Structures are given as C-alpha cells and as structure tokens.
C-alpha cells in the first residue's frame, strides 16, 4: 500500500462559533489524484487550506507529509507542497521563467539579492517545457492568457519537487480550449511522476482530469460521499450535495452534469 501523504481525522474548523467543517476525515496516498467537489461555500477550499498547511483545524488532527499541523514549522512544510491558485497575486511583470523560479524560493515575487544557479534555471526551463510553454518562457506575466498563467503556475508548483500538488479551481476563467489544454497538462503529471499525489478543487464535473482516481463530495462542511471517483461521483451523491436533481454521466474518462428533468421535484434527502 502506498505511503500516506495526507491524513485528516475528525477535522473540525470553527469560525465565530460556526462549524465551517465538521469532523472531516480524509486519507490521500502517494499516486492518488483526488477531486474535492461541492457547491460554493461547502468547505472545499478550507479543506485544501488545511492540506496545504495554511490553516489549523479547531479540533481533530491533520497530518501532511508525515507532519502534524500544529507541531511543525508551517513555512517549511509549505515548501514541500506545490500549490496552484489562479488568483496568484503577482504584481510584477516577471517572465514565465522567473515565475517558475519563485517555486524554489516559496515567494510570490523574486526575492531581493537572490540569483538562481544555472542548474535552477535549467530546471525551470525543463518544467516550462513539460507544461508546453517553452515558446513563451520569456513572455511577461501581464501578457499571458489565463490558460498560459495556469500552466506557468503548475511549472512553479513543481519546482520544489513536491510529493503533494494542490490545485484550487485551476480552470477559473478559462475558455473551453484553454480548459482542455490545462486538463491535458494535469493528466500528463500522473505519467511524469507516478508517486505524486494531487488534490483538485472544483464544482464543475467537466473540470475533472481523466487521471482523477478518488473524490470527496462535501456539502455544508460535511462529507456527502468519498472513495473511488466512480463510487463517489454519482447522480445521487451530487444531487444531494448540490440540493438539486443533477444527472451525472461519464463518457470515457470524462464527466458531465445536467439537470435531471424527470426528478426536478425530488432531490435525494
């Protein structure tokens, strides 16, 4: 059995006396690719924040890469985790190469008085090639399309050689072609590094990569279903989580969802 990368046991997060998450349990192993699914405000990004060592649970235990949250230097732990967020708050006109290099420093901007070594630049160029951006590696951040930015951020996330990759709604703002290109890039990662584990947050089934192996469906801070993607992503579980009759279909390795017209009046309780 593959090594555990993430373990959440009865994790609860409270804010202003209200449970944002309630006794969530999750185990992610090396080589698994998880999707966190649920409506807006369900708690998906909160779970991702805990898995990314950015948030402490109020109760329960969270272990990431063998380290207990609350008993480890979170800044050091974050350096071992790749994080892709389309809302990346970069303000400077860095090149794609420079953006990838900030994955080594764990910063948004290039640190002052830091000069990358030749082997670090070579690594950045290799990762940029892996995500299909070699022809744009000297392009400036403000000139990139949203899809190109997403791929540049994946290169950045991989620079530290992570065992865990977190993708927080990476398809945000993409048109259909850009979404498909980014999905191809994400799928290629599973073949590039078979031991890499990933967790992807989305509320659109169409955004699930073909390499998705597992899913956790969450609603109002509680788990509605989890397990293999085939067992967790069903018409019943998705309808219950979104409180709407949704018909889930799968064609090949891709998923889609639409209103289940024959069940408009009966959403599973």
pLDDT score of 72 more than 90: no
Does one domain contain both 74 and 4? Answer: yes
Residue 71's pLDDT is: 86
Q: Could you read off the pLDDT of 198-229 as tens digits, one per residue?
A: 999 998 999 999 999 999 999 999 999 999 99
Decide if 237 is inside a domain: no
Share of the chain above pLDDT 90, in %: 77
- 180 shares a domain with 134: no
> Does the pLDDT at position 17 exceed 90?
no
- The verdict on 74 and 7 lying in the same domain is yes
Please tell me the total count of domains within the chain: 2
Single residue among 161, 191, 222 that ends a domain in this structure: 161
42 and 69 share one domain: yes
Whether 174 and 70 share a structural domain: yes
What is the pLDDT, as a whole number, of residue 263?
A: 55
- 57 with 171, same domain: the answer is yes
Chosen domain end from 138, 161, 184: 161
Taking Cα atoms as reference points, which of 102, 83, 106, 82 lies closest to residue 92?
102
- 113 by Cβ neighbours in 10 Å (0-12 / 13-18 / 19+) ranks as exposed
Mean pLDDT of 178-185: 92
pLDDT at 265 over 80: no
Domain co-membership, 155 together with 167: no
Question: CATH number for the domain including 195?
Answer: 3.40.50.300
Q: Is residue 105 part of a domain?
A: yes
- Residue 2 confidence (pLDDT): 81
Mean pLDDT of 29-56: 93
Are residues 122 and 138 both part of a single domain?
Answer: yes
267, pLDDT greater than 70: no
Would the pLDDT of 162 be above 60? yes
- Is it the case that residue 47 has pLDDT exceeding 90? yes
Please tell me the predicted confidence (pLDDT) of residue 264.
Answer: 52
Kindly report the backbone phi and psi dihedral angles of residue 177, in degrees, each rounded to the nearest multiple of 5, phi listed first.
Answer: -65, -45
* pLDDT at residue 260 tops 70: yes
Q: What is the pLDDT of residue 173?
A: 86
pLDDT at 268 over 60: no
**Do 151 and 186 belong together in one domain?**
no
Asked if residue 133 has pLDDT above 90, the reply is yes
Mean predicted lDDT score pLDDT of the chain: 92
Q: Supply the range of the domain harboring residue 212.
A: 1-80+163-230
Phi, psi at 132, each rounded to 5°: 75, 30
Assign 243 a pLDDT band (cuts: 50, 70, 90).
very high
Q: Do you know the residue count of the chain?
A: 269
Q: What is the pLDDT of residues 94-122, one digit of tens each?
A: 999 999 999 999 889 999 889 999 999 99
Give me the pLDDT at residue 206, please: 94
- Residue 231 reports pLDDT greater than 70: yes
Q: Is the pLDDT of residue 66 over 70?
A: yes
Cα 127 from Cα 143, distance rounded (Å): 20
Residues 71 and 170 in one domain: yes
Do residue 157 and residue 174 come from a single domain? no
Are residues 72 and 12 both part of a single domain? Answer: yes
| Percent of residues, the chain, with pLDDT higher than 70 | 97
Q: Which of 161, 182, 204 is the last residue of a domain?
A: 161
Q: What are the C-alpha distances in Å from 10 to residues 66, 93, 140, 173, 253?
A: 17, 43, 44, 34, 32
Mean pLDDT of 33-54: 93
In a domain, 256, yes or no: no
Q: What is the pTM of this model?
A: 0.91
């Amino acid at each position: 059995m593959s090594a555990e990368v993430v373990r959440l046991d009865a994790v609860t997060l409270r804010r202003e006396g209200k449970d944002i998450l309630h006794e969530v349990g999750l185990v992610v192993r090396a080589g698994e690719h998880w999707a966190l699914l649920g409506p807006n405000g369900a708690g998906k990004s909160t779970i991702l924040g805990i898995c990314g060592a950015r948030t402490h649970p109020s109760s329960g235990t969270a272990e990431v890469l063998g380290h207990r949250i609350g008993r480890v230097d979170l800044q050091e732990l974050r350096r071992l985790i790749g994080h892709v967020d389309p809302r990346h708050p970069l303000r400077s006109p860095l090149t794609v190469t420079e953006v990838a290099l900030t994955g080594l420093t764990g910063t948004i901007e290039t640190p002052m008085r830091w000069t990358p070594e030749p082997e670090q630049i070579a690594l950045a160029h290799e990762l940029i090639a892996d995500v299909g951006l070699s022809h744009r590696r000297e392009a400036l951040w403000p000139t990139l399309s949203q899809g190109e930015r997403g791929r540049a951020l994946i290169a950045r996330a991989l620079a530290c050689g992570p065992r865990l990759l977190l993708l927080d709604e990476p398809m945000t703002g993409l048109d259909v072609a850009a979404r498909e290109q980014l999905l191809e890039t994400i799928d290629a990662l599973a073949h590039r590094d078979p031991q890499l584990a990933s967790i992807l947050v989305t509320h659109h089934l169409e955004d699930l990569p073909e390499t998705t192996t597992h899913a956790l469906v969450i609603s109002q801070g509680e788990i509605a279903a989890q397990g293999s993607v085939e067992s967790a992503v069903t018409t019943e579980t998705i309808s219950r989580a979104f409180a709407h009759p949704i018909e889930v279909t799968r064609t090949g390795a891709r998923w889609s969802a639409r209103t289940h017209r024959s069940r408009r009046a009966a959403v599973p309780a």
